[in-house]
């Protein structure tokens, strides 16, 4: 399968750098203190987490007057902090960044689809299925019933079925957009028509000069544009394209020796345990590959993860690190309550509410219907945009009724009080609390808190014994790799 979710038809040759100074803190509610590292020349591809420079999946990439920003069809712009306050760039968008030793040379962002709504339940926009979840951010300009929106723009990653896992949904008027567009892979090419998922595209009168030979090919990643904005939502209408333009697939983004970090869905796990594929890019696993928040057994088609490494001479990514994006938070404890109507359960004496949705992987023959109070469960997941803990995986827990564990990103860190907040719970320590580093080595309290970065560092807390009071001092706090 070819990468369907971002327009990347752009030059990716590094720009000449004059300096790498920070452009300032910017203005965003999503600003974080993400790790800043220089890794050489390469590509960072994934969700924008915040600004103050730009943060992509726990990487802080420096932006300055040498950074170019490409939004859709717009000409390259020079980076400016106002881009975060005027809505040009937003946390949750998917971006491709060409970097040089931690400096963002070029940032490219484009929507997956922009056009009228076909249906609301399920949500389909111009023949593209849209998945809504706890992490989806819907623009305040959108009507309560999205069917009444004139034009919808969707940003997100695309799963193995071709559905868009929406991070952001924005609503526009027809006058606010220059054209309708869809990015995806060509299929069912037949004469002057082809399909992108369920959308039929007629390119008989389109400008196809950007395509090799002036013709689309099955499997080719393209962006189709309707400058006339003639497509009628809900009618199963054919899109009569005015332009069809080629896009870069995932495997074409990097060059040999490039460092590359990508966040996406696994599309072909048949090569495991030695390799798997993300679209047309092969990811190689070796004995030196580090796994975060999981192991190779969790890799399967449709799993979202982050892979980091270097492109080899064959154009494949030799992975240094594989991180399971939806597993950075975890609770191992007894079930306190089950709400079948709202698809939620609570753990740790009703202090942690867990949302279970269609993307939750249920293991050990567990279903929402057969979960009972006092069952021991291990829940892995992430915090959605509404602050809810969303389960990506549920399986049997440690079965220890007198012990509980909790892991998540630390916030409200207070080194003096020896406290922090994990998954909304205030974690307290005492003179009996043991502090450990990433290697499970006991360290001092001072060294532990010095290593914490607000809203970035992942920490695991253990109560042993657990007496039903989450505010009781924990027995152990351990740093987890982020």
Of 280, 310, 326, the domain-final residue: 326
H/E stretch holding 414: strand 411-414
Same domain (yes/no): 285, 381:
no
Q: What is the reported pLDDT for 298?
A: 80
Same domain flag for 31 and 171 = yes
pLDDT for the residue 415: 95
- Same domain (yes/no): 185, 115: yes
Pair 177, 113 in one domain: yes
Q: Using one digit for the tens of pLDDT, what is the confidence trace for 212-266?
A: 999 999 999 999 999 999 999 876 779 999 999 999 888 888 899 999 999 999 9
pLDDT of residue 277: 96
What percent of the chain lies above the pLDDT cut of 90?
A: 61
C-alpha 159/C-alpha 131 separation (Å) is: 10
Q: What would the two tokens of residue 166 be?
A: 């929406």
Statement to judge: residues 175 and 272 lie in one domain: no
What pLDDT does 139 receive? 86
Assess whether 260 and 360 both reside in one domain.
no
Identify the pLDDT of residue 18: 27
Residue 38: predicted pLDDT: 53
Q: What is the pLDDT of residue 32?
A: 33
Low-confidence spans in the chain with pLDDT less than 70: 1-39, 58, 85-86, 134-135, 235, 325-327, 384-387, 481-482
Of 307, 326, 345, the one marking the end of a domain is 326
Give the residues across from 463 on adjacent strands: 404
The string of pLDDT tens digits covering residues 132-174 is 876 688 888 899 889 899 999 999 999 888 899 998 999 999 9
Query: Which of 358, 379, 396 corresponds to the end of one domain?
Result: 396
Total domains present in the chain:
4
Q: What is the model's pTM?
A: 0.68
Which tokens is 77 given? 């712009």
| 468 and 349 Cβ atoms separated by less than 8 Å | yes
245 alpha carbon, distance to own chain's centre? 26
Coil, strand or helix at 214: helix
Shared domain for 145 and 245, answered yes or no, is yes
Q: Give the pairing of strands 41-51 and 259-265.
A: parallel
Are residues 32 and 170 both part of a single domain? yes
Q: Which residue has the tokens 């409200």?
A: 412
What pLDDT is attached to residue 76?
A: 86
CATH number of the domain to which 419 belongs: 2.40.50
Per-position DSSP letters for 235-262, written without gaps between them: TTPPEE-SEEEE---GGGT--TT-EEEE
In this predicted structure, what is the pLDDT of residue 24? Answer: 32
Same domain, residue pair 431 and 413: yes
Domain co-membership, 322 together with 337: no
CATH of the domain at 344: 2.40.50.320
Chain centre to alpha carbon of residue 9: 21
Place of tokens 């920003």: 69
Residue 375 structural domain: 328-396
Element (H, E) at 155: strand 151-158
Same structural domain, 76 and 183: yes
Q: Are residues 127 and 214 in the same domain?
A: yes
Between CA 400 and CA 465 the distance in angstroms is 10
Strands 376-383 and 389-396: antiparallel
């Amino acid at each position: 399968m070819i990468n369907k979710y971002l327009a990347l038809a752009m030059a990716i040759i590094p720009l000449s750098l004059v300096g790498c100074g920070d452009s300032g803190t910017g203005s965003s509610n999503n600003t974080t203190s993400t790790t800043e590292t220089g890794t050489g020349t390469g590509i960072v591809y994934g969700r924008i987490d915040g600004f103050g420079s730009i943060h992509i999946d726990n990487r802080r990439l420096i932006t300055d007057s040498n950074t170019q920003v490409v939004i859709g069809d717009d000409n390259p712009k020079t980076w400016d902090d106002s881009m975060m306050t005027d809505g040009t760039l937003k946390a949750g968008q998917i971006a491709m960044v060409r970097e040089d030793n931690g400096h963002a040379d070029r940032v490219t962002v484009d929507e997956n689809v922009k056009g009228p709504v076909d249906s609301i339940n399920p949500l389909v926009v111009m023949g593209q299925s849209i998945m809504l979840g706890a992490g989806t951010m819907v623009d305040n300009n959108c009507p309560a019933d999205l069917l009444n929106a004139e034009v919808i723009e969707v940003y997100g990653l695309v799963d193995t079925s071709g559905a868009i896992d929406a991070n952001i949904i924005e609503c526009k008027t027809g006058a606010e957009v220059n054209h309708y567009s869809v990015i995806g892979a060509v299929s069912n090419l037949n004469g002057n028509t082809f399909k992108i998922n369920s959308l039929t595209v007629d390119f008989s009168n389109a400008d196809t000069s950007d395509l090799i030979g002036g013709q689309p090919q099955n499997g080719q990643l393209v962006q189709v544009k309707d400058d006339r904005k003639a497509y009628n939502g809900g009618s199963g209408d054919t899109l009569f394209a005015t332009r069809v333009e080629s896009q870069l697939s995932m495997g074409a983004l990097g060059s040999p020796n490039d460092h590359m970090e990508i966040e996406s869905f696994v599309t072909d796990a048949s090569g495991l345990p030695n390799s798997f594929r993300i679209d047309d890019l092969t990811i190689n696993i070796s004995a030196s590959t580090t796994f975060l928040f999981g192991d190779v057994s969790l890799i399967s088609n449709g799993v979202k993860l982050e892979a980091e490494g270097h492109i080899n001479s064959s154009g494949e990514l030799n992975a240094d690190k594989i991180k399971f994006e939806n597993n950075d938070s975890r609770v191992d404890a007894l079930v306190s309550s089950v709400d079948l109507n709202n698809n939620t359960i609570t753990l740790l004496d009703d202090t942690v509410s867990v949302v279970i949705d269609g993307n939750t992987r249920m293991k050990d023959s567990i279903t929402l219907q057969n979960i009972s109070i006092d069952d021991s469960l291990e829940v892995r997941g992430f915090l959605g945009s509404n602050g809810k803990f969303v389960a990506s995986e549920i399986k049997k827990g440690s079965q220890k009724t007198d012990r509980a564990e909790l892991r998540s990103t630390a916030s409200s860190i207070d080194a003096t009080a020896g406290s922090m907040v994990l998954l909304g719970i205030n974690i307290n320590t005492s003179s009996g609390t043991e502090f450990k580093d990433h290697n499970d080595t006991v360290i001092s309290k001072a060294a532990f808190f010095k290593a914490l970065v607000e809203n970035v560092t992942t920490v695991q807390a253990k109560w042993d014994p657990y007496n039903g009071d989450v505010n009781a001092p924990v027995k152990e706090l351990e740093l987890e790799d982020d």
